[in-house]
Chain A
Amino acid sequence: MQEEGHAVCLPEDIDTDVVIAGRYLRTKDRSIWESHVFEDLDPGIAPRLKGAVIVAGKNFGCGSSREQAAIAIREAGVVAVIAPSFARIFFRNAINIGLPLIEADITCNESSTVKFNLAQGWVELSGKRHKFRPLSPRMQEILAAGGLVEYWRKHR
């Protein structure tokens, strides 16, 4: 299935403390995570994330295992995150909560349209198509189910 969104460019080594700060974790209220996402990086970013594809530098999501980081990004309306590499716990968390990740090294143009196809393994930005290695079959299954909770509701 082809999907698309507008590009929001972020730097490399984004840590999960910056995605959602510890001071907002003392709750189960997801709207709090959504409204404070990336606050310490750019306090005005949240409204721009609706329907966005984040195109970031390497090592996205490093640091703390907090799953709220992936949830906050998804709740803010982000369609997918593209980066040359992801920290491994963030990678699992994102797939587990149904946020698509794409491992690809592409040059970001703010606000331009990014198209991608997860199953076919390509992403298109500013008229240039890049190939990427698709996720493992298990991860694609989890993502297709909408996350690991839904996956286990089906397979239990």
Chain B
Amino acid sequence: MSTLSERILNAPAGEYVDRKVDRAYAHDGTGVLALEAWKCMGASRLANATEFSIMFDHIAPANNTTTATLQRELREFATGSFMNFSDIGCGICHQLMSEGVVLPGEIVIGADSHSVTLGAFGAFATGVGATDMAAIWLTGETWLRVPESIGIHLEGRFTGASEAKDLALAFVGELGMDGATYQALEFVGEGAKDLSIDERLVLANLSVEAGAKAGLFYADDVTIRYLRERGHTVKPQLPEQCAYIKDLEFDLSDIVPLVAVPHRVDTVKPVDDLAGLPLNQVFVGTCTNGRYSDLARFARIVKGNKVAVRTIVVPASAAVLTQAIRTGVLADIVEAGCTLGTPGCGPCLGYHMGVLGEEEVCLSTANRNFKNRMGVGGEIYLSSVATAAASALEGEITAPEVV
């Protein structure tokens, strides 16, 4: 009996396989180097049968002439070679792939570590670097070592103000930053079936923070409904009895709001332990927590109040932004004193906007708090959306209340 990764890759764990890639995508950060590698390979035509995409999300819009010129070159390549191209403001690459593109059972390779996000759909989705992406443009294939899998067994439902991000920080904390290196996580059990696609995307997204190669959910009724609303008819993936090399169990009703403290994602504490820590910035967004449900939850908490600290909200995509405009969520956020960024990665990676000053402290809904990532000398704490909202109102780390 096989794990989902073994079924999709059609080989037992440990084997090296060459596989056709169904979808391959890169962004403005990795695409520039991939294009350089592609040219050096002397390649001219894209492989058939793979769907290729390039999205501009990392430095969007461009911050200076150097970036703009690099982006111009990559934009010309993407449009000239008939790739799917999403320019600045369309949104984060993983988010765009999640809006009715990736389907269960597909092999999806992104030139970004958070490509694991798409495992939420029962796809085998993983990240590679730029040169690997160039080789996929050339051949439509890549080599993979079929991973062993760790079973993340979920039961129960979230209670209080806890949300998927808190569970994600909990499993990264338990596994450690390299607890799943070369391996896949499979999220299974009754508790997994109750999770929305947005919640699954959060959990799959954080898999790589434990070093995982992929983080997969089995496609079920929730997946089928989500994709049907976006024009796709798909079948469920039924779990088989299979051997995991390790098993972790979580009762969702035991999960409390958590914070990852600098500079490690696996150093996780209950938010109560950090209550009162003064903040200079709150950031809500990213491929972890920039979806419409996140913005709506944030708005519910801050509506009618004013934030006490500078707060940057960045929708994960233009579709998220549009929905937030239509429903009034965006007005609530702006009226509460928050400011907005262009749909994309925003300040998460410290390339171009919303960076921190020396000794400044940021509470972020992102997935990484590495040293100096958002600016030299700045410190990053990671939390859920509800914790970020409660903390923004107080200007210090604050436990969220049930809304």
Contact = CB atoms under 8 A, between A and B. Distances in A.
Given A67-B129, A138-B16, A156-B41, A27 B368 contact: no
Interface in A16-60: 17-18, 21-23, 25-28, 40, 58-59
Contacts of A18: 370-372
B245 to A, nearest CB: 15
Contacts of B143: 138
B177 A148 contact: no
Interface string B150-190: 00000000000000000000000000011001100000000
A73 to B, nearest CB: 13
Most B CB atoms within 10 A — which of A17, A27, A70, A97? Answer: A17
Contact of A13 (B127, B177, B376): B177
Interface in A82-100: 85-89, 92-93, 96-97
Contacts of B178: 13, 58-59, 62, 85, 87
A61 to B, nearest CB: 10
A15 interface: yes
A21 B182 CA distance: 24
Contacts of A63: 113, 368, 370
B127 A65 contact: yes
B132 A96 contact: yes
Given A25-B29, A66-B30, A148-B37, A96 B42 contact: no
B351 A67 contact: no
B321 interface: no
B134 A149 contact: yes
Interface centre among B33, B66, B112, B368, by most A CB within 10 Å?
B33
Contact of A88 (B40, B182, B352, B371): B182
A148 B131 contact: yes
A105 B128 CA distance: 25
Contacts of A70: 129
Interface residues of A, number: 39
A142 to B, nearest CB: 10
A22 B37 contact: no
A136 interface: yes
B138 A65 contact: no
B350 interface: yes
A59 B208 CA distance: 12
Nearest to A58: B178
Chain B interface size, under 10 / 10 to 19 / 20 to 34 / 35 or more? 35 or more
B111 interface: yes
A93 B129 contact: yes
Contacts of A58: 178
A123 B144 CA distance: 27
Nearest to B183: A88
B41 A26 contact: no
A17 B181 contact: no
A97 B37 CA distance: 10
Contacts of A23: 350-351, 376
A152 B211 contact: no
B371 A40 contact: yes
B128 A92 contact: yes
Interface string B121-156: 000000111111011001100010000000000000
A22 B349 contact: yes
Contact of A59 (B129, B181, B371): B181
A96 B129 contact: yes
A111 interface: no
A87 B64 CA distance: 32
Nearest to B110: A65
Contacts of B132: 92-93, 96, 148
B213 A88 contact: yes
B177 A65 contact: no
Contacts of B350: 21-23
B131 A22 contact: no
Contacts of A89: 113, 127-129
Interface in B28-59: 29-30, 32-33, 36-37, 40-43, 59
Contact of A156 (B42, B129, B264): B42
B129 A40 contact: no
Given A148-B135, A156-B138, A67 B370 contact: no
A49 to B, nearest CB: 19
Across the A-B interface, give the 9 residue pairs with the lowest CB-CB distance, nearest first.
A59-B178, A93-B129, A67-B129, A96-B131, A17-B370, A65-B113, A67-B130, A149-B40, A152-B41
Interface of B: 16, 29-30, 32-33, 36-37, 40-43, 59, 63-64, 66-67, 70, 111-113, 127-132, 134-135, 138-139, 143, 177-178, 181-182, 211, 213, 264, 349-352, 368, 370-373, 376
21 contacts: A17-B370, A17-B372, A18-B370, A18-B371, A22-B351, A22-B373, A26-B70, A27-B70, A59-B177, A62-B211, A63-B370, A67-B30, A89-B113, A92-B128, A92-B132, A148-B131, A148-B132, A149-B131, A149-B134, A152-B139, A153-B40
